[in-house]
Amino acid sequence: MAKKKAASKKAAAKKKTAKKKVAKKATKKLVKKKVAKKKVVKKVASKNSSSKKTSKKATKKKIAKKKVAKKKTSSKKTPVSNSKKTTNKKKVTKKKSPAKKKTSAKKAKAVKAVVQVRKEKNPIEKETLKSDTGLVQEIKEQQKEDTIKSKKLKALVKEQKLSKNKEEVTDELSLRKARLIEKYIRQGKSWEEIRKNIEDFAQSYSMKQEYEARSVIEHSSLGVGYVMAAQNNRMTVYFEDGYRNLIMNYQK
């Protein structure tokens, strides 16, 4: 009995699996059919759209042909109207009155007379014109001379300014160079290197004279020195030996 029940259960399970497989196959077939239908619908729609486009193009071409034909017909008609106008103008010119011809002849004679008068100018007017041209030339020459003089003056002023600047530089030590020398002194560089930058600006030392800071002096016994500070009647000077205090602006 137990064996029969087990066999019946197996057969029922096999039937269920077979049914499931059949159902899956049926669903797959339905899906394929739907896809095929969609493709057919798309093809039909594309064909319809292409046919519509072709029909629109054909209608546009027809309209363009009609317009061209109209233009050709209008161009053929225009020369006839122009010819008519020209014939009318000719008729009008033929009907001109003799009085108008006489007035035109009078005008021509008057113009000729004016031209002759202009050609035969008075000698006084010619002389005045010559004098005017001479004055204009003289004015132009004067202007040229003035421009040349102004350029020369500008050049001289520039030269004077440059010379003044050079003299100032040679007489007094520039601030940039003074700062550099102070830097060398602080760093303890060699006296030869400091002296190279100082000796060209040295002034002879005297007790009666007044000196300013950042100036250079030349002592009779100590040699060249750089003035570090100057207050009241005393100043501190850096020599080859070191710092020294000297008297200045001495009055008995």
Residue 237 half-sphere exposure toward CB, CA atoms < 13 A: 25
State the chain's mean pLDDT as an integer. Answer: 77
Sign of the alpha-carbon torsion through 86, 92, 98, 104: negative
**Cα–Cα distances in angstroms (integers) from residue 95 to residues 85, 88, 90, 91, in the given order:** 16, 11, 9, 7
Report pLDDT digits (tens) over 8-40.
777 888 878 888 888 888 888 888 888 888 888
Residue 94 has pLDDT above 90, yes or no: no
Report pLDDT digits (tens) over 35-61.
888 888 877 777 776 666 677 777 877
Q: In angstroms, rounded to a whole number, what is the distance separating the alpha carbons of residues 238 and 198?
A: 11
Contact 173, 201 (CB under 8 A): yes
Residue 197 has pLDDT above 80, yes or no: yes
**Cα–Cα distances in angstroms (integers) from residue 235 to residues 116, 170, 171, 209, 250, in the given order:** 99, 23, 20, 12, 12
118: confidence class by pLDDT, cuts 50, 70, 90: low
Residue 170 has pLDDT above 60, yes or no: no
Q: Which amino acid, 149?
A: K
- 203 bridge partner residues: 217
DSSP codes joined into one string, 8-23: HHHHHHHHHHHHHHHH
Quote the pLDDT of residue 44. 75
Tokens of 144: 């040229």
Quote the pLDDT of residue 82. 47
Contact 210, 182 (CB under 8 A): no
Pair type for strands 223-231 and 234-238? antiparallel
> 175-187 and 191-198 helices cross at what angle (nearest 10)?
170
Of 171 and 7, the one with more pLDDT: 7
Residue 164 has pLDDT above 60, yes or no: no
Quote the pLDDT of residue 92. 47
Nearest of 209, 206, 203 to residue 249 by alpha carbon? 209
Q: How large is the average pLDDT for residues 55-77?
A: 74
Quote the pLDDT of residue 120. 61
* Residues 133, 136, 140: CA angle, nearest 5 degrees: 140
Rg of the chain on CA atoms, in Å: 60
